[in-house]
Structure 1
Amino acid sequence: MQKQKGMTLIGLLMAISLVILVAMIAMKVVPTAIEYNSIMKAINSTKNAGTTPKDIQLAFERQRGVGYFDAVTSKDLIIVRNNDGGFDLSFAYEKKIPLIGPASILMEYSGTTAKSGIVATKPTKVD
């Protein structure tokens, strides 16, 4: 007798269910990554858009309308003057992606235009 080669029906069903699970997660995560890339493009293009933080915020809002993202607004931007006399922009946000039932994925995104790559944080109020 020869040994049989191939995949059983149960193995095939398990492989298909694994592929479907990965595809479902990817379909929910990929749009948030695209949104993050749009935000990074917007802050890079508005970095030198004005001489005041208000000018930069207005330019960012225009880019926000074109880029079709809503995770970050101009009020969420952290604008800091750098050593070159220009401005560095930073942002950070979280995106909760529901999966099945109580299971979800929490994505934490942050970005900056600073050369150091360190994301600035908003100062906390001390009472």
Structure 2
Amino acid sequence: MRIRQAGLKRESRGITMFGMLIGIIVLITAVLPAIRAVPSLIEYQAITHAVKLARDRANTREEVVSAFDKQATIDDITSIRGQDLEVLDSGGSIQAVHFSYKREIPLYGPISMVITYSGTQR
């Protein structure tokens, strides 16, 4: 059995230049906010670590504030200070330390992204 192929056209395969351009634009639009958010995520992890250390080392609110500020100086934390921490204590022992703050990240011209971070160390 013979199949005739003379009249059949083969379809093109692959991506067009226009399709590639649209794909790159979509990729950049999605990746840029993530790349710009990475430093604030790293700072959030440093804050969580500093709050945990301050809670473990202190017995009073003043000691927590002081210990956090010392660790914040070492870790270059600028988004929050020791005075902004909410310390729950009961008669000489720290029950929990809570923090919350917002970080604004500029994206494109007048467009920016606001991330609210919060955490509690018990």
Task: Place the TM-score, normalised by the shorter chain, in its bin.
Answer: 0.7 to 0.9
Quick check: which one's strand share is greater?
Answer: 2
1:69 maps onto 2:39 in alignment: no
Query: 2:48 pairs with 24, 40, 51, which one?
Result: 40
1:107 to 100, 105, 115: 115
RMSD between aligned alpha carbons? 1.8
Answer yes or no: is the 8 Å Cα contact 1:43–1:113 preserved in 2. yes
Deviations 1:49-87 (A, max 9, x none): 122111111111111011111111001000111599333
**Residue 52, structure 1, aligned to residue 73, structure 2:** no
Separation in 2, partners of 1:82, 1:53: 10
The runs of 5 or more residues in structure 1 that have no matched partner are: 115-127
Is 2:20 the counterpart of 1:12? yes
TM-score, length-scaled by structure 2? 0.85
Structure 1 segments, 4+ long, off by >3 Å, are: 82-85
Relative to the length of structure 1, the TM-score reads 0.82
> How many residues align structurally?
114
Percent of counterpart pairs with the same letter?
A: 28
Q: Distance in 2 between matches of 1:5 and 1:35?
A: 46
The question of 1:78 aligning with 2:86 is answered yes
Judge conservation of contact 1:92–1:110 (CA < 8 Å) in 2.
Answer: yes
Whichever of the two has the greater Rg, that structure is 2
Give the equivalent residue in structure 2 for 1:96.
104
SS of residue matched to 1:48: helix
What is the CA-CA distance between 1:36 and the residue it aligns to? 0.5
| Distance (whole Å) between structure 2 residues aligned to residue 65 and residue 13 of structure 1 | 45
- Gap regions ≥5 residues in structure 2: 1-8
